[in-house]
Amino acid sequence: MERESGAVASPLERLPPELIRAILSELDSLDTLHCAVLSCRVLWYCFSGNSSGISTRIVFNHLDPCDVRPEALAALQASSLPGPTISLVREFCALHLSNRHVDSGISVTIAEAAAIAKLQSTVSRLADEFVKTNIRKLPTPTHGEQTSLSLEPSKSEKRRIMRALYAIEIFYNLFRKTTMSDEGVGQCMNEFLLNFAPWEIEQIACVHEFLFLHISPAFDDIAAHDVLWGEFEVEPAQWFGSPDLQTVLFQGLVTLESIAKANTYTQRYDLLHQGRIPPTRDRTLYRALKDINYEGIDDRDASVSGYGNSQDYAFRVKSAFFEDPDNGPFTIWKWAHESQSLRQSVYQREKAPLRKWGYVMWDRDRLDACGILQDRWQPPVTGRSLPDDPPREMDDERWISSWRERSRIHMEGGSGWWDFGDESKIVWARRKAGGVAKAPDTPKSLDEAKRAILALQRH
């Protein structure tokens, strides 16, 4: 509230403008800044003199303790690329991914600062959810004394998860909309991933699968109940490569978190393409991970067991994107793939049980406490714990029957939520008269004519 005319200025208002700006720059969030500058005219004038610089400093104060400023700025830059081409994507990767560095001279607008702050809050919460979901799945010690393992992540573990989340956000921002050819997109996606070391790519894969499982309940709910999705026979997300859900992932982390939190049909409907059928994409993160190609990298056929440590890998192949001071991720990656070549050390089907508990995310101390590294890696004998392969053609009679019923309703002009024995929430575009649907309008295409005939046959 602005003070009344003639009122005595507060001690804060009597400070020099430069000092007031310095104080504003140290506030804990943009929300706090917003409240502060609206509290009196003096603070507003001081803020207006350097609004971008103050907003930038506050956002960096939020990012730097987590050591994710480079990733957050790269995500921002990727989101603003105008219809990326092969040359633009390569230029972006060379600038932001080939070498990780903190740009101390950059300044962002207030709107950009708000976008970064919102994304960072989302990334932090998703990292906490990743820990909550996966840390309890860590193997228990099988040798020696039982150890009580902390369920709280270390700072380095949470930062590792956050960097992987940012890498995925950058990927989706880069490739969400593009005019590149299919071959060009595939090539650029491969080049994107090769900026990371194999254990870092596995970190991205772990987070990718977490996100898939995190939003699949909401996706499956719409697939099971929405009339239009039933008309087009949208299948539930049965495997990680599910084309429809892979398309949803391209909406980015902020929207994905909202989808996961949505607990009503209406909320999920609005977030999942507003009821439109997800357009299938041929090139996705899943496919990029499965098709990763190390051609052109020297020493590509060497056994993983031949690399002594991450520095040895950096000397013989290339440096990791992040120079991790903890050797836990490298060590367990080598343990899991030691009998394989470099080209076989990323996103292998038999490693699905390891990715289920985020094996490359944890510090060496935690891995040692679990006793994981004391035994050789043994692939599972039977079955698989996560859906990795495309399923056979849908043969579930309940789903087929559901599609049939929802197709009937769609042809009669209905939309919205449906379930077996419950049509009470359907919205009818054309009211039924005497139990018979109103005759359809004159068909404008052969497809519409076929639908009209089918609708008549069903009455």
Q: Could you please report the per-residue DSSP string of 92-144?
A: HHHHHTSS----TT----HHHHHHHHHHHHHHHHHHHHHHHHHGGGSPPP-SS
Instruction: Give backbone dihedrals phi and psi of 360, rounded to 5 degrees, phi first.
Output: -95, 15
CA-based R_g, the chain, Å: 27
Q: pTM value?
A: 0.87
Nearest by Cα to 25 from 52, 65, 63, 64:
52
Residue with tokens 């002009």: 413
Task: Please tell me the total number of residues recorded for the chain in this structure.
Answer: 459
| Residue 17: both structure tokens together | 């403008």
Q: Could you please report the per-residue DSSP string of 64-95?
A: GGGT-HHHHHHHHHHHT-SS--HHHHHHHHHH
* Residue 364 CB coordination number (10 Å): 15
Whether the Cβ atoms of residue 126 and residue 257 lie closer than 8 Å to each other: yes
Strand partners, 436: 433
pLDDT, position 365 = 94
Strand partners, 422: 419
pLDDT, position 458 = 42
Whether the Cβ atoms of residue 209 and residue 355 lie closer than 8 Å to each other: yes
Strand partners, 341: 303
| Residue type at 252 in one-letter notation | G
- Indicate the DSSP class of residue 371: T
CA angle 260, 156, 150 (to 5 degrees): 75
- Indicate the DSSP class of residue 433: B
Whether the Cβ atoms of residue 433 and residue 458 lie closer than 8 Å to each other: no
pLDDT, position 71 = 96
Nearest by Cα to 254 from 360, 137, 176:
176
Q: Could you please report the per-residue DSSP string of 256-288?
A: HHHHHH--SHHHHHHHTGGGPPPPP-SS-HHHH
Q: How far apart are CA 319 and CA 313, in angstroms?
A: 7
pLDDT, position 387 = 62
pLDDT, position 426 = 93
Residue with tokens 């980015």: 252
Q: In Å, how far are 5, 13, 37, 110, 177 from 40, measured between CA atoms? A: 12, 9, 6, 19, 43
pLDDT tens-place values along the chain, 459 residues long:
445 555 667 787 788 888 988 988 888 888 888 888 888 888 888 888 888 889 999 999 989 999 999 999 999 999 988 878 899 999 999 999 998 877 766 888 999 999 999 999 999 999 999 999 999 899 887 655 556 678 899 999 999 999 999 999 999 999 998 888 999 999 999 999 999 999 999 999 999 999 999 999 999 999 999 999 999 999 899 899 998 899 999 999 999 999 999 999 999 999 987 767 777 888 999 999 999 988 766 666 678 888 989 999 988 888 999 999 999 999 999 999 988 888 889 999 889 999 999 999 999 999 999 888 988 888 776 555 456 666 666 667 889 999 999 999 999 999 999 999 999 999 998 655 444 444 445 555 655 555 555 544 444
* Residue 456 CB coordination number (10 Å): 13
pLDDT, position 441 = 53
Q: How far apart are CA 353 and CA 386, in angstroms?
A: 7
Q: How far apart are CA 303 and CA 210, in angstroms?
A: 29
Q: How far apart are CA 397 and CA 122, in angstroms?
A: 39
